[in-house]
Structure 1
Amino acid sequence: MLAALYRKQVSVSGRCHGVGSGESSAQPSETGSAQGLYRDTVLLPRTEFPMKLTGQKLLDRELEIQKCGFADLYSWQRERKAKKEFCLHDGPPYANGDPHVGHALNKILKDICNRFEMLRGRQVHYIPGWDCHGLPIELKALGELGTSGLSPLQIRQKAREFAEGAIARQKAAFQRWGVMADWDQCYYTFDGVYEAAQLKVFQEMHSKGLIYQDYKPIFWSPSSRTALAEAELEYNPEHVSRAIYATFPLVRLPPKIASEKADLESVSVLVWTTQPWTIPANEAVCYMPNAQYSVVKRADNSQLLLAATERIASMAALLGTELESVVTFTGSELEGGICKHPTIPDKEVPLLPANHVTMAKGTGMVHTAPAHGMDDYSVASQFKLPVECMVDEDGKFNDLAGPELQSLPVMREGTDKVISMLRDCGALVKEEPCVHSYPYDWRTKQPVVIRPSKQWFINTESLKDKAKEALQKVRVLPESAKGSLLVMLDRRTYWCISRQRSWENMFVCNFFKKKVHTLTFFKDISDTHTHTNLFKEKNSDCWWELPIETLLPPEVLKQSKAGPVTDYIRGEDVLDIWFDSGASWAAVLEESDSRADAYVEGKDQIGGWFQSSLLTSIAVRNKAPYKSLVVHGFAVSEKGEKMSKSLGNVVDPDTIINGGKDPSMPAYGADVLRWWVAESNIFSEVQIGPTALNSARDSISKLRNTLKFLLGNLHGFDPLTQAVDPKEMHYIDQYMLHQLREYSIKVTDAYSEFDAGRVIRVLQAFISRDLSSFYFSIIKDRLYCDPEDSLGRRSCQTVLEEVLDGVIRSIAPILPHLAEEVYLHAPGHDKGETLFKSGWIKSSSVWRRPGLEEAVEGACAIRDSFLSSIPGKNAAQYDLTIAIEPGLLFELMESLQEEPSSTSSQLAELMMAARVNLTSELPRDLPPDAILNHGTFLINLEGGVIREDSAYNIAVVPTSASRCPRCRRYTAESADCMCPRCQAVVSQAH
């Protein structure tokens, strides 16, 4: 607000303490014989702009504004000439349900950003999109039907119809929220053109050796019957597993230990696992080479156990017995040891070193099942262990697990049976429940298993360094999110991109029985040659629709003359939806710069779309697809809970806008929803509910009140012909232009930093401190009671028009409906002109004048001393004498009041006193009831070149003048006559 006063830590709110707006000028509510005579001579505010707009009237007005002002806005700005483009690439929402407040948070944030960039003159590139493939859509589309009896094409058709319905509902909601776009030109991941662009990305990555097929463990969802990527997992921290301690008898001691301790017999390795069902698949027991290990004897049964030395104390407490150390050695001395498998007769497994062994839990000896663990598989690769999968696609034991286990679900009855088998053979030492974080399928909310499968993978290990280097050049908000991105990239050694469902883009690489060259075939599908238009025209359905002869490359068809085409079969793998959406830059950004200026998505996309977009772009183009990332939190209930229908705390955006059956949910309209988004701290969880919405509505109501005051006092004012040059304005008016310029800079900076919350805070501070509490209270007398065409009044109106224009432009990205509504009533532009086609805030450097700020803020410091001397009293009833020794501060005050005493000077107006006397020293003959006060003001001009700490003294005495019946200032000679100013105004009018 006022820089110098902030430096002096003077409270701005005290400026008008005790001075009601009703006491500063004539008001329409005033009654009485004398005042009533002159009421028609006072220029009171007049405007048709309503103070309140609620219910159906509010909804009708918003829809009318959208129809007239928003419909062609995106197309208009795309056609205009602009020096710069701003590209916000839309992360596609999933087309599997109705619009919710999470959608509102995301889409409105994007729209605020886009509207700001458009207003500031940039050509916005924003194409809304939808993620249309994937299992959730397939499951919802099929409902209770399942896939029984349905062909892949029938499944795909039902899924497409379901997705199209969801898209239509979501699109209608986004438009109702005021989101600016060409809604007839969106992108959909099931479009053939999109799919062809995606397949081209795949082909280029394959040609660089970044995509390969392999048989190794992946996350598998039995409930979805498909492979999952890391991004499709959500971890349940409350998952309960049946953890066990089990023994693997040593049948051959490690050579180094056997040579030293020949008396060691019947030693068993003690292992711990939270997944007992994987014991039948065990191929080794791993140890940490650098750790200390001990053979200990149980005091209760003399059993000898081998475990890590630092875990012995915990194990003793767990087993409820003392463990006596027999021998201790380093892990490297375990090399060469062989154990007997506890449940499979005649099977032996080796002791092997491994770096993934930790001492945080368990025994320091790790059961290793290469088919069912990522680290286990690494050990198997290093030591050439077999990788045999004992679990089928339904999450049940297969025939390799043996007749006792076959067909049992591994996570339920299968676990029961394995524990029973361990108990029967004497290998079970302890069972306990273990609460820990476990991966779940984010769609079905069911636990996943790790099992090997022949899948297609991206070698992210070879991309990580380039991706991390590219990320260092990306601006990430909040900064902490960049760390999370880097951590997730580090954890990701490969990316499984194949799935085993029907509703997805077809994975054409897995096509053959005979050796069809993958790249040759792929070029024909996705390049600009023979079969280019297949996917573009028919989309990936053509994979099932067309005969094989149409799909095979010409060279393969030539070769097939020697053998039947039936030797070739269609592959059944489909592409992961994260690859599907992650390649969107290739399909959508071709019209703009090759990199988007911004991606704006929720924090769940740190491991999802942000990462898949980055990896595919780095792989193909060696650069990130984005310059900035804005990562926002999730919408939650007012209690901070995740929204859930079962909890009854779901807030529906449609109900927010149009109202609900419950009286506590009135029709708020779209702008309240948008204000809630803008005002929230988007970098944390964003709470929504009646309290937040009512607060937003109240804030907008206060804003409307201010805008109504501005509009009302601009009645009849034409800024094109009646505006006053800033150099001729009153200093207080010039000062407000200076403040408006500072406000516009702050607002512009906040929008540029994607911080709409700061925009609102700056707006509210400007309105409450600079305008309502300060400027408005000072100027009412001049506005209402000066001659209509006087320089002082026109000077004030010029400022009010600039303030109105600046405020509505600054709120337009957040409250577009209100901004356009105000613009309809605002002076200075042609009827039918829209705000969004007329640019950003227009502030001028000439509004900043040397000395102006110091003059007004020096007067404000004196004003604060004056008001603090008469707490709770009306300043208009007092005469104020200001005494300042000759110097810079005195000269500044003289610029506001040239004569020694005045009731109408700019200084008197600013002080809101009856009369102001400006002198070099206080008079000696002050009345006994005079109130004395003093203070200092630091003058700082020309960047500190001129600095002067100036003292002042004030004397406050009740005025002897009478109250003017017209303006109600204490400037009249007697109670029954007007003050000289009002006499002149009334006489001129008649």
Structure 2
Amino acid sequence: MLLCRISAVSQSVARWGTSVRRGALLHPALSFNTSRCQNVSSTDGTVHPAAAQGAGPYRDSVLLPRTEFPMKLTGQNLIDREVQIQQECGFAELYSWQRERKAKKEYCLHDGPPYANGDPHVGHALNKILKDIQNRFEMLRGKQVHYVPGWDCHGLPIELKALGELGTSGLSPLQIRQKAREFAEGAIARQRAAFQRWGVMADWDKCYYTFDGTYEAAQLKVFQDMHSKGLIYQDYKPVFWSPSSRTALAEAELEYNPQHVSKAIYATFALATLPPKMAEAVGELGSISVLVWTTQPWTIPANQAVCFMPNAHSQLLLVATERVSSLATLLSTELETVGTFTGTELEGGVCQHPTIPRKEVPLLPANFVTMGKGTGLVHTAPAHGMEDYSVASHFKLSVECIVDEEGRFTELAGPELQSLSVMGEGNDAVISMLKAVGSLVKEEECVHSYPYDWRSKEPVVIRPSKQWFIDIASLKDKAKEVLAKVRVIPESARGSLLAHLDRRPYWCISRQRSWGVPIPVFYHKETGEPLINKHTVSHVTQLFSEKGSDCWWELPLESLLPPEVLKKVTGEVTDYERGDDVLDIWFDSGTSWAAVLEDSRADVYVEGKDQIGGWFQSSLLTSVAVQKRAPYKALMIHDFVISEKGEKMSKSLGNVVDPDTVIHGGEDPSVSPAYGVDVLRWWVAESNVFSEVQIGPNVLNSARDSINKLRNTLKFLLGNLQGFDPRTQAVDPKEMHYIDQYLLHLLRNYSMKMTDAYNDFGAGRAIRLLQAFITRDLSKFYFSIIKDRLYCDPEDSLGRRSCQTVLEEILDGVTRSIAPILPHLAEEVYLHSLSSEGETMFRSGWIKSSPVWRRPGLEEAVEGACAIRDSFLSSIPGRNAAEYELTIEIEPGLLFELIESLQDEPTSSYSQLTELMMSSQTTLTSALPRDLPADALISNGSFLINLEGESQLMVQRSKTLHLSARGVTAVPGSNPSCITSGSDWESP
């Protein structure tokens, strides 16, 4: 016998016991009450040996679960079942179905185009499945989803892979384009098939491709709009140039190698003409030189000036005051101060170029000079540096390119340097020349971050060329303004977006390739002046829309530049030639909003963090230029996929995970089993996608185990609903057992939390909510309590039907809540349920919960009783609660009234309180019995009650509880005889 005592409770109690440990059970989850039947069943619907063998006289009276739903699927059976579900449940038709139905709201997730140059990989899986989870959730909520998959089809990497070892030698632009198109189409076919196999919901017959004529025409309309506003212009200025690819690159096409090694030098420029202030001060000191430092010695022949910080103080040998100490250490010498001058006092000085006789270069002020490294004076080569070019523009310096497209010195660099690679032997030759004339002070290796071509993985150089640019400086302020109104997930990424904007003064959009959208410009054969206006571009745009951009090379010039267009300008068709450059692929993809979204804005763009400086930026800039708004309302930015060991995936390391192998298995199933699509989707959903996402056998095995545990719970629900028809046999919530009403209350809270999680792109949070609900609220709590009613009550009894009504709602709610993540499993469950009636789950909507399920008062009663039960069970570790008669003693008050609502009679073996306690009999009393049996187990504890005062603050008061229990079915000598007190069973 177990007694519980609580002293008088204040009648102002508003809420208590909201955080009780409902799951702290110390016995098999579904062991039967021994006073009623002998069979035992587990949560997965399987029957324990006593029942399976027909032991005991009650076998025929037990209502065991029955279902054909398999506990697990493996190997080829799993693969076949997933494909069968996709066919039976109309996965291919789902997108068009939801587009045709009436909906109050549209949800637009604009697909960033994957690059069409390879096979599908786990990065694709992460991205596409993340998008599909969100789209399926929004569709289930009743919105009309707009999701058009697309591919980025142009660009150098595709061109190079298509040509392979052939190269471009002897091939015409049209031949190159044909091979590139065939290569891209093959990659698209493979990727599209994989995306469909992953269950991605889309209209796969109406995708967008950047090589389609209609897409190219939409792109040129944006180009024309920006050109007419003066935002696109041609100029001769330094750009990032890839000698390995022989084309200009944009910032977004660079990768910075932090381990790049350069030969850095300290070199002197002799002062040929002293600045006036300096000449007065130094007197007869003799020759004076300026000391500079550079990591690119090859640019010395292109030097046009030496720059200093206007407000800095300098010394002779002319270096910045702030750098004296560091330089003395680096040069292993003492530096004696001779004179000190401000930066402005250096103006008027002229240096002798160290390697070019009779060439003099001025000392000039520049704000970009810093004291962080070097000497405080900067060798300036306007042709080979972005900041250097800004100085040249201001002071009208010469900008002559001494490097060709292959990264070799031209004849302008002199005969001793001509044809040498500037990143190799040419660099060494310049250092030797400096050494020969006595200008080299020190040479050292410098490890630093340096830009590389993102495709060829080779270093780039900065060299000037005539290119087409977008004036980002004119767009930057507006871009920042509209970006401030965009939701960024995670918010921490907003700083990177702004930083990328600040780093880009202009955007080079022309490329010297054949595979791309031609820039619609004509050049005068004699003057080289470009011919481009709204008439010429509009005409070419119409041709591209009808024939595709191949017509730029296929049609005669008379068709591209007809007389009616030439009437607007002076000259004849024969005076012009078509341009050879194509548009940057970031301009290609960045104008997708114009081709796909038309006049609407996307609710969200979802891509990897590499797009912070890529597609997110190019889309923002082009949209701001034309529409004065961002093309998206929100950005969701995820990280990259790495191996389980934290390594970047590469074939050389042998750690590449192929999503096709994950789904279908490898040659050796023991090493690479077939996990199926839903395991891949679970992995995506469960991962923290805002940091590096790991994948490997351990992660995949864990995902498979989690799904199998979920299947077991679903099997238990389906098995116990066999023959139950909710349309005719469901019980009204008001007539249900309190514990059943309480579960509906929990189910309602669960459904609202799940909805909030998906709304916030929180698929990982949704999984955690699912697992907590199943483990804590169902398996360890509800399922362990309802076993007697479910298996032993008459089939059509109110208690059993009440329980089945709740199980039906739980099955429906859990199935719908997992559907965005596990669509195959959700549809499989729905096919086994009676509620489907030939309809697929995804056509039947989101979780349905009723406001009448909310029962806060009942929650107090049940959770208070749960706290008492936890104390009881913790007092009998390892024993069956059904072996005990339980007495709960509570002093008169609100708590007593709440617990009394679960048991009408003082003592009962069949009350809802007894069911909750899982004892053989429960007595509820307000007076402690005077004589306790000698074998009684007594437990004392305290319970925290929250009182709500006038200030609406929650305060806590503790009440002491006493429990005692007496064993009723124990084997002689095994009855508990210990007495415990002060048990920790209070609500936190």
Which TM-score applies when normalising by structure 1? 0.93
Q: 1:545 aligns with which of 554, 576, 585?
A: 554
Q: Which residue of 1 aligns with 2:564?
A: 555
Q: Which residue of 2 aligns with 1:55?
A: 75
1:881 aligned onto 2:881: no
Between the aligned partners of 1:813 and 1:265, the Cα distance in structure 2 is: 81
Instruction: Please report how far the alpha carbon of residue 829 of structure 1 lies from its aligned counterpart in structure 2 after TM superposition.
Output: 2.9
Between the aligned partners of 1:558 and 1:949, the Cα distance in structure 2 is: 93
1:897-908 residue pairs with structure 2 within 5 A? 897-908=903-914
Q: Which residue of 1 aligns with 2:507?
A: 495
Q: 2:280 aligns with which of 251, 256, 259?
A: 259
1:695-706 residue pairs with structure 2 within 5 A? 695-706=702-713
- 8 Å contact kept, 1:854–1:940: no
Instruction: Please report how far the alpha carbon of residue 260 of structure 1 lies from its aligned counterpart in structure 2 after TM superposition.
Output: 1.8
Inter-CA distance 511–36: structure 2 relative to 1 (3 Å threshold):
farther
Between the aligned partners of 1:361 and 1:446, the Cα distance in structure 2 is: 26
Between the aligned partners of 1:961 and 1:400, the Cα distance in structure 2 is: 105
CA offsets, 1:376-421, max 9 Å, x none?
Answer: 0001011110000000001000111011111111000110110111
CA offsets, 1:901-956, max 9 Å, x none?
Answer: 01110000001111110011221111123213232242568996998957363433
Q: Which residue of 2 aligns with 1:233?
A: 254
Q: Which moved more, 1:861-870 or 1:334-343?
A: 861-870
- 8 Å contact kept, 1:92–1:581: yes
Q: Which residue of 2 aligns with 1:421?
A: 433
1:160-199 residue pairs with structure 2 within 5 A? 160-199=181-220
Q: Which residue of 2 aligns with 1:619?
A: 625
- 8 Å contact kept, 1:603–1:631: yes
1:664 aligned onto 2:671: yes
Identity of aligned residues (%): 75
Q: Which residue of 2 aligns with 1:638?
A: 644
Q: Which residue of 2 aligns with 1:608?
A: 614
* Aligned amino acid, residue 521 of structure 1: H
CA offsets, 1:410-437, max 9 Å, x none?
Answer: 0001101101111111111110000000
- What is the total number of aligned residue pairs between the two structures? 941
Q: Which residue of 1 aligns with 2:833?
A: 826
Between the aligned partners of 1:307 and 1:891, the Cα distance in structure 2 is: 88
Inter-CA distance 947–888: structure 2 relative to 1 (3 Å threshold):
farther
Instruction: Please report how far the alpha carbon of residue 845 of structure 1 lies from its aligned counterpart in structure 2 after TM superposition.
Output: 0.6
Between the aligned partners of 1:333 and 1:178, the Cα distance in structure 2 is: 71
Between the aligned partners of 2:363 and 2:374, the Cα distance in structure 1 is: 17
* Aligned amino acid, residue 494 of structure 2: K
Q: Which residue of 1 aligns with 2:975?
A: none
Inter-CA distance 941–827: structure 2 relative to 1 (3 Å threshold):
farther
CA offsets, 1:644-665, max 9 Å, x none?
Answer: 0011110000000000124321
Q: Which residue of 1 aligns with 2:765?
A: 758
CA offsets, 1:325-382, max 9 Å, x none?
Answer: 1111211111111110000000000111111111111111100000000000001011
* Aligned amino acid, residue 633 of structure 1: D
Between the aligned partners of 1:256 and 1:779, the Cα distance in structure 2 is: 97
CA offsets, 1:560-581, max 9 Å, x none?
Answer: 9x96532210101110000000
- 8 Å contact kept, 1:881–1:917: yes
- 8 Å contact kept, 2:520–2:537: no
Instruction: Please report how far the alpha carbon of residue 828 of structure 1 lies from its aligned counterpart in structure 2 after TM superposition.
Output: 2.0
Q: Which residue of 2 aligns with 1:674?
A: 681
Inter-CA distance 962–167: structure 2 relative to 1 (3 Å threshold):
same
- 8 Å contact kept, 2:933–2:966: no
- 8 Å contact kept, 1:638–1:689: yes
Q: 2:444 aligns with which of 425, 432, 435?
A: 432
Q: 2:342 aligns with which of 330, 333, 344?
A: 330
- 8 Å contact kept, 1:854–1:939: no
- 8 Å contact kept, 1:922–1:953: no
Q: Which residue of 2 aligns with 1:518?
A: 532
CA offsets, 1:9-66, max 9 Å, x none?
Answer: 644432x123553354622324399943221210011100000100000000100111
Q: Which residue of 2 aligns with 1:976?
A: none
1:777 aligned onto 2:784: yes
CA offsets, 1:194-241, max 9 Å, x none?
Answer: 000000000001111111111000000000000000000000000000
Q: Which moved more, 1:322-331 or 1:188-197?
A: 322-331
- 8 Å contact kept, 1:441–1:448: yes
1:45 aligned onto 2:52: no
Q: Which residue of 1 aligns with 2:318?
A: 306
Instruction: Please report how far the alpha carbon of residue 752 of structure 1 lies from its aligned counterpart in structure 2 after TM superposition.
Output: 0.4
* Aligned amino acid, residue 549 of structure 2: S
1:31 aligned onto 2:50: yes
* Aligned amino acid, residue 354 of structure 2: P
1:13 aligned onto 2:27: no
1:383-398 residue pairs with structure 2 within 5 A? 383-398=395-410
SS of equivalent residue, structure 2 residue 941: strand
- 8 Å contact kept, 1:865–1:935: no
Q: Which residue of 2 aligns with 1:628?
A: 634
Instruction: Please report how far the alpha carbon of residue 695 of structure 1 lies from its aligned counterpart in structure 2 after TM superposition.
Output: 0.6
Between the aligned partners of 1:22 and 1:901, the Cα distance in structure 2 is: 23
Instruction: Please report how far the alpha carbon of residue 264 of structure 1 lies from its aligned counterpart in structure 2 after TM superposition.
Output: 2.7
Between the aligned partners of 1:108 and 1:8, the Cα distance in structure 2 is: 37
Instruction: Please report how far the alpha carbon of residue 835 of structure 1 lies from its aligned counterpart in structure 2 after TM superposition.
Output: 0.3
Inter-CA distance 260–546: structure 2 relative to 1 (3 Å threshold):
same
CA offsets, 1:693-743, max 9 Å, x none?
Answer: 001001101100111111111111111111111111011100101101111
Q: Which residue of 2 aligns with 1:454?
A: 466
Q: Which moved more, 1:695-704 or 1:848-857?
A: 848-857
* Aligned amino acid, residue 828 of structure 1: S
Alignment RMSD (CA, Å): 2.0
Between the aligned partners of 2:969 and 2:388, the Cα distance in structure 1 is: 96
1:793-832 residue pairs with structure 2 within 5 A? 793-830=800-837, 832=838
SS of equivalent residue, structure 1 residue 36: coil
SS of equivalent residue, structure 1 residue 390: coil
Between the aligned partners of 1:56 and 1:828, the Cα distance in structure 2 is: 29
1:935 aligned onto 2:942: yes
1:360 aligned onto 2:372: yes
1:688 aligned onto 2:690: no
Q: Which residue of 2 aligns with 1:67?
A: 87
Instruction: Please report how far the alpha carbon of residue 511 of structure 1 lies from its aligned counterpart in structure 2 after TM superposition.
Output: 4.3
- 8 Å contact kept, 2:561–2:573: no
* Aligned amino acid, residue 113 of structure 1: Q
Q: 1:891 aligns with which of 887, 894, 897?
A: 897
Which TM-score applies when normalising by structure 2? 0.93
Instruction: Please report how far the alpha carbon of residue 959 of structure 1 lies from its aligned counterpart in structure 2 after TM superposition.
Output: 3.5
CA offsets, 1:595-639, max 9 Å, x none?
Answer: 100100000000000000000000000000000100000001111
Structure 1 unaligned regions, length at least 5: 296-304, 964-990
Structure 2 unaligned regions, length at least 5: 1-13, 41-46, 972-988
* Aligned amino acid, residue 196 of structure 1: A
Instruction: Please report how far the alpha carbon of residue 785 of structure 1 lies from its aligned counterpart in structure 2 after TM superposition.
Output: 0.5
SS of equivalent residue, structure 2 residue 849: coil
Between the aligned partners of 2:57 and 2:254, the Cα distance in structure 1 is: 78
Instruction: Please report how far the alpha carbon of residue 958 of structure 1 lies from its aligned counterpart in structure 2 after TM superposition.
Output: 2.5
Q: Which residue of 2 aligns with 1:376?
A: 388
CA offsets, 1:826-869, max 9 Å, x none?
Answer: 12231x31000000000111001241110111111111121122
- 8 Å contact kept, 2:794–2:800: yes
Q: 1:274 aligns with which of 286, 290, 295?
A: 295
- 8 Å contact kept, 2:679–2:704: yes
CA offsets, 1:273-303, max 9 Å, x none?
Answer: 00000000000001111112111xxxxxxxx
Instruction: Please report how far the alpha carbon of residue 524 of structure 1 lies from its aligned counterpart in structure 2 after TM superposition.
Output: 2.7
Q: Which residue of 1 aligns with 2:590?
A: 582
Between the aligned partners of 1:794 and 1:204, the Cα distance in structure 2 is: 68
Inter-CA distance 317–906: structure 2 relative to 1 (3 Å threshold):
same
- 8 Å contact kept, 2:238–2:384: yes
1:406 aligned onto 2:400: no
Between the aligned partners of 1:879 and 1:511, the Cα distance in structure 2 is: 99
- 8 Å contact kept, 1:217–1:450: yes
- 8 Å contact kept, 1:468–1:486: yes
Between the aligned partners of 1:217 and 1:895, the Cα distance in structure 2 is: 83
